[in-house]
Amino acid sequence: MKTTEVPASVADALYSHQPSFDPAALRGMFTKGLNVKTFVVYCPDPRASGIPSAVAKEFGEVFPGENILDENGNKVGFTTNVGQLINAGGRAVDALRSITLLNHLLGFGRVVVVHHTFCGMTTFTPDSATDAYKKEHGGDLKKHYDSHDLYIGDFKESLTYDVTLLRNSPVIPASVDLYGYVYDINTETLHKVIEDLGTGKA
Ligand SMILES: [Zn+2]
């Protein structure tokens, strides 16, 4: 392993290194500058890149938005209400840690999990992915992941599984609204499959 020094101009660009460091005040500043209300979990397939815009339209939010600058031209915020969590297939298992920490930081109220048509994850079956992986790389995926996390064989099943995984997680606040959608890559439209509103609703 080889490391190089971080340039002095950015080495201390961490909030915790600032003389006025105040964790509680910073969380307030983040909430104000990054007014994210919805996090969308989706796949890095470039054909699915329209998902955050479609979700913003569905919930009447701003995307992609633009930078908010202070009087010195520093970037202190952004106008979009939609945050993006991108992982293979758009799965809850990968997104869980990010949702937990980002919700603590930003306090958003909605997570939208989106799976898409003709996703690479739909080329697998529970056994085909793990058998081929074992043959080619020697590792046993089933030792590390639930088989539901390794393929998409039915959109209703995969979205229900993901929303349930988030709802049952003790580190996701019960107040967060959860949704599961399928995105059609050809028509660029969303289809709602599951809605599980949080406890904060009247
Ligand atoms: Zn995909």
139-158 pLDDT, tens digit each = 888 888 888 999 999 999 99
CA 54 – ligand 1 centroid, Å: 16
CA 119 – ligand 1 centroid, Å: 4
CA 68 – ligand 1 centroid, Å: 32
21-122+153-196 folds as Beta-carbonic Anhydrase; Chain A (3.40.1050)
Q: What's residue 141's pLDDT?
A: 86
Per-residue pLDDT band for 201 (boundaries 50, 70, 90) equals low
CA 117 – ligand 1 centroid, Å: 8
What percent of the chain clears pLDDT 70, i.e. is strictly above it? 99
Per-residue pLDDT band for 31 (boundaries 50, 70, 90) equals confident
Give which of 122, 170, 165, 160 is closest to 145, Cα–Cα. 165
CA 123 – ligand 1 centroid, Å: 10
Q: What's residue 200's pLDDT?
A: 66
- Please, what is the average pLDDT of the chain? 93
88-106 pLDDT, tens digit each = 999 999 999 999 999 988 8
Is the pLDDT score of 202 beyond 50? no
CA 140 – ligand 1 centroid, Å: 22
- Residue positions forming the annotated binding site for Zn(2+): 116, 119
Residue whose pair of structure tokens reads 């079956």 in the numeric block: 125
34-66 pLDDT, tens digit each = 999 999 999 999 999 999 999 999 999 999 999
Give which of 90, 117, 91 is closest to 184, Cα–Cα. 117
Buried b / exposed e along 62-86 (16+ C-beta atoms within 10 A) = ebeeeeeeeeeeeebbbebbbbbbb
What does each C-alpha distance from 159 to 49, 79, 101 come to in angstroms? 19, 29, 22
Q: What's residue 132's pLDDT?
A: 86
Q: What's residue 142's pLDDT?
A: 86
CA dihedral 91, 92, 97, 98 (to 10 degrees): 70
191: amino acid identity, one letter: H
- Residue positions forming the annotated binding site: 116, 119
